[in-house]
Amino acid sequence: MEGVTATLSKPALKIGPYEVDPPVVLAPMAGITNVAFRQLCQEYGAGIYVCEMITARAVVERHPGTMHMMTFGEHEKPRSMQLYGVDPKTMAEAVRIIVGEGLADHVDSNFGCPVAKVTRKGGGAALPFKRKLFEAIVRESVKAAGDTPFTVKFRIGIDDDHHTFLDAGRIAEAEGAAAVSLHARTAAQRYSGQADWTKIAALKEAVTSIPVLGNGDIFSAADALRMVDETGCDGVVVGRGCLGRPWLFGELEAAFQGRPQPTPPNLGEVAAVLRRHTELLIEHDGHDKAMRDIRKHMAWYLMGFPVGSELRRGFAMLSSMDQLDDLIAQLDHDAPFPEAATGPRGRQGSPGKVTLPHGWLDDPDDDCVPEAEDMHSGG
């Protein structure tokens, strides 16, 4: 890891008017990339840090929970939001509200979600198969966004028989998207197996006038440089690798700037980060929700460290700050960061058939809007 340095000198990544240096984007993750987690990550390195997915219809209907999720920190620049939608009109209306009311500086869109409740309605990774509908969504959203950059995130396709990424990339480019990101898996793969980075290289060849960002299986700074090197992508999007490891953004920044890797934190330092994460969540969401929320991060923060099962259970069932301090006091603060914890982390799941609306694959040029959109933001 010590020798990790940037091997390529590429022009700076620009997304609309924003120079993104280092060329690193925190992947939108429902239930994870709220204002507290983004703030924590941003303290380690620069980049773009995308909010949790927001449902276009919930914006249009000004759903109170969704409006709360759309909170940004004072120092977030650009404020980056991701929208989910299946209807060009609703998406455009949501973008108009966001841009018109100055609620964000960058709008991304989610065409990669593999979850059954989403694809069943023709949303997420199912949607780009309907290329005319996809085209209309991007066109109307870009128009509504005006000078605000609108970007598009998608997967390779539905499954190995239905790849959509090259068409999706070309359509997004032609309709004025400011950048595209590819999670190099099919929806059928979910998070299993390995991302196929050769598809990122293929997309980079097909889409030539806007940045192409690569996504999938970056778990270390070395992985990020290797992706850029192997695919020629203009930037990287990092998701699961930073779960319980927000300082990864410091490691990424150092690597892209050709600086030596910072020393990873020992267990005492990790505990301090975890404590700060909890405080930030309390500030944003209040005590009870924060306590429920931080529990899911515990196993990621403690991954690979020598922590007994009873102590781990205590962290996983946390209910107060006093209790957290008690538990932290019982940790071996000098335990070094385990090498094993620099590999894959977060959900992997297993592959499976993608649930689609009846007859979805019959006609890719059918641009009928699928049934009513979900109101539930945050996946």
Ligand X SMILES: Cc1cc2nc3c(=O)[nH]c(=O)nc-3n(C[C@H](O)[C@H](O)[C@H](O)COP(=O)(O)O)c2cc1C
Among 153, 163, 199, 204, binds ligand X (CB under 6 A): 153
| 126 belongs to the binding site for ligand X (CB under 6 A) | no
Q: Which helix (H) or strand (E) holds 363?
A: none
For residues 235 and 237, give the distance between their C-alpha atoms in angstroms, rounded to a whole number: 7
218 is a contact residue toward ligand X (CB under 6 A): yes
The single residue among 47, 123, 211, 241 that binds ligand X, judged by CB under 6 A, is: 241
| Sole window of 1-9, 89-97, 107-115, 326-334 interacting with ligand X (rule: CB under 6 A) | 107-115
Distance CA 297, CA 289 (A): 13
Parallel, antiparallel, or unpaired for β 235-238 and 48-55? unpaired
Binding pattern for the stretch 254-293 against ligand X, x by CB under 6 A and - elsewhere? ----------------------------------------
Strand 18-20 to 13-15 pairing: antiparallel
Shortest separation between residue 70's beta carbon and ligand X, angstroms? 14
Beta strands at 48-55 and 18-20: parallel, antiparallel or unpaired:
unpaired
Instruction: Tell me: does residue 14 bind ligand X (CB under 6 A).
Output: no
Handedness of CA 134, 147, 56, 87 (dihedral sign): negative
113 is catalytic: yes
Given the residues 41, 51, 113, 242, the one annotated as active site: 113
* Cα gap 356→370, rounded to integer Å: 11
Report whether the peptide linkage leading into residue 78 is cis, meaning its omega lies within 30 degrees of zero.
Answer: yes
Please report whether residue 347 would count as binding ligand X according to CB under 6 A: yes
State which of residues 16, 304, 314, 346 lies at the interface with ligand X (CB under 6 A).
346
The dihedral region occupied by 59, where left means phi > 0, alpha psi between -120 and 50, and beta the remainder, is alpha
Sequence-separated (6 or more) residues with CB below 8 Å from residue 360? 122, 126, 129, 130
Q: How far is the CB of 268 from ligand X (least distance, A)?
A: 27
112 near ligand X, rule: CB under 6 A: yes
Q: Give the per-residue contact string, 16-55, with ligand X (x = CB under 6 A; - = no).
A: -----------xxxxxx-------------------xx--
Q: Is 233 in the site for ligand X (CB under 6 A)?
A: no
Which residues are catalytically annotated? 113
What does the binding site for ligand X look like in residue numbers (CB under 6 A)? 27-32, 52-53, 82, 110, 112-113, 153, 183, 215-218, 238-241, 346-347, 379
